[in-house]
Amino acid sequence: MAKIFAVANQKGGVGKTTTSVNLAASLARMQKTVLLVDLDPQGNATMGSGVDKSLLKISIYDVLTGQEKIENVLIYPPESGFAVLPANADLTAAEVELLDMDERETKLKSALATVTDRFDYILIDCPPSLNMLTLNALVAADGVLIPMQCEYYALEGLSALTNTIDAVTETLNPGLRVEGIVRTMFDPRNRLTQEVSEQLKEYFSDSLYRTVIPRNVRLAEAPSFGQPVIVYDKTSSGALSYIALAGEMLRRHTEQPQGGLK
């Protein structure tokens, strides 16, 4: 059964999509079968994986609204090495339509249940807000992976997200937990970056990944070519960092005692 992680942060521009795409590619390079679910109407994870969202005839919208089975919508971009459940602007309509549906919070969970035996990892790239789509991701997930920049408002945003996770745990998904916090766009020369990083170590040491993702030009360029950075430039610091993050994630799961993470 797949381990399902929602990649979420209610603050935009913190590297959610970058982390989703590049962690998926890195896990795939480590011989894991991976599904990347694009749950953002912007479709950036879809494009960054090598799929042209403008050419999609069916997408995750059709899955959530019950018009298509998930296996009919999956795409396997040859270079990326993982499967993609793609999204485009149609997904905006799904959010509205879900509000009138029964069991609207569990539509994604029900869809993914039909394919969890085919993957080792399922990563869900969430939109940068707490809406019905993000709620579907949190209900479907085993854990939440939180990318965040070490900047002034970061801890406040992290507190709001953990409160949301607690609320979902109490009402809709008792098994949900924080899988980990990833420091992104990390610049060790910046004093504020260092200060916030130290605060994260102090208050979230159990959840904080040791691996940090640096600011990196190649990492920023890769999406415009529709490629994960490990394909675009495997020797770049961005590629090496995501490989390290994938390795750290795999070690966490291997080292966990029975009854904890698997």
How far is residue 154's CA from residue 170's CA, in Å, rounded to a whole number? Answer: 24
Domains and CATH numbers, the chain: 3-255 (3.40.50.300)
Q: Give the chain's radius of gyration (CA, Å).
A: 17
* pLDDT value of residue 157: 79
pLDDT in tens, 148-173: 988 877 777 788 889 999 999 999 99
pLDDT (0 to 100) of residue 47: 97
pLDDT band at residue 258 under the 50/70/90 scheme: very low
**Residues 215, 73: Cα–Cα separation, whole Å:** 34
- Given a cut of 50, whether residue 26 has pLDDT beyond it is yes
What's the pLDDT tens digit per position in 192-247? 888 889 888 888 888 999 999 999 999 999 999 999 999 999 999 999 999 999 99
Place of tokens 């919508």: 73
The answer on pLDDT for 259 being more than 80 is no
Residue 11 confidence (pLDDT) above 90: no
pLDDT digits (tens, 9 = 90+) for 33-64: 999 999 999 999 999 999 999 999 999 999 99
pTM given for the model: 0.94
**Percent of the chain topping pLDDT 70:** 97
Confidence of residue 255 (pLDDT cuts 50, 70, 90): low
Spatial distance between the Cα atoms of 59 and 70, rounded to a whole number of angstroms = 9
Segments in 59-187 forming alpha helices (H): 60-64, 70-73, 91-98, 107-112, 132-140, 154-171
Please tell me which residue, 10 or 67, carries the higher pLDDT value.
Answer: 67
